[in-house]
Structures are given as C-alpha cells and as structure tokens.
Amino acid sequence: MDQFNASVDLLIDKLKKRADGKTTVSMLEEFYKLGLDIIGKVAFGTDFNVIFGVDNHFVEANQLILSALIRRLRFPLEDYNPWSRGHRQEVRAAIRFIRKMGRDVIEKRLATRLNGEEMKEDDVLGYILKASDYLKNPEFQMEDVVDDFFTFYLAE
C-alpha cells in the first residue's frame, strides 16, 4: 500500500499543477500511467517514472504491444497480411525494448546481490530470482527469467 499511495500522491501533485480549469486531462491515460508505475514498484522494485512522462518510449511500447495483442485476436491471420509488415516490425521492436528493460532490471537486482548488498526479495521479481536460485540453478537461464518478467508485466 505504501508504494500505491506514493504513486497516487505523485499523480495528485501532477494533476494539481494542471488544475487551472482550462487544461484538458485524459484521466484514462493518467490512470494507465499510474498502473504502470505501481506495477513497476510493487512487482519489480523499479520506478518506471511514467507518471511524469520521463520515459514516453516505455508507455508507447507498452501500448503498441497491448494493441497488437488485441489486433491479433481480432484478425488471427494478421501474420499473412503483406500490408501489415511494418506494424509487425514495430511490435517486435517494442517487445525487444521491454525485454531489454526487463533484463536491465534483473541484472541490476543480481548485481546488488553480488555486491553483498541487501537485495529486495518481497516482490514478484524477488520470488522469481529466489526460485531460480539467483540463476545458479542450471534449469534457469537469464532468458527464462526475462520471459517470466515479460509475462507478468503484460498480465498487469
């Protein structure tokens, strides 16, 4: 709840600055960004900083991936449409971007542990790393943990 409250406080501060009675605010977009920030903090111990638009590419990549999933459900033969090749390339680039971000988060968490510092283990990423015995278990590779990160991230 502390992480949730902290993110909501940031959103309220942002909205106060825009509350002049003339500025239009898309609350759907603001709550979407709030959700991404909360998922990042609670599940992965990472601040994505999207409430203030610090990393718009992150939000754009996320929206592109989710819209592609919906598009795929509506049009199952989309992969065979020659006119959607550019869209597929954009989606693949967005997936690579999110996966790289996930890999960076995981590597940062593992580096913290290797440096002898206290590693946060009470979030989803901590449980994933603990289950993989911090990637020492030969059954778990970095890509497996990145897959878990990506799967949980998209399930938000």
Q: What is the SS3 assignment for 93?
A: helix
Q: What is the DSSP secondary-structure string of 53-89?
A: TTTHHHHHHHHHHHHHHHHHHH-TTGGG-GGGHHHHH
For the chain, what is the largest distance between any 2 Cα atoms, rounded to a whole number of angstroms? 59
pTM of the model: 0.81
Over residues 127-151, the pLDDT tens digits come to: 888 888 877 877 778 898 899 888 8
Over residues 20-47, the pLDDT tens digits come to: 888 888 899 899 889 988 988 888 888 8
The count of domains in the chain is 1
What domain range is 28 assigned to?
A: 2-155
3-12, 53-62, 92-101, 117-126: which is most confident: 92-101
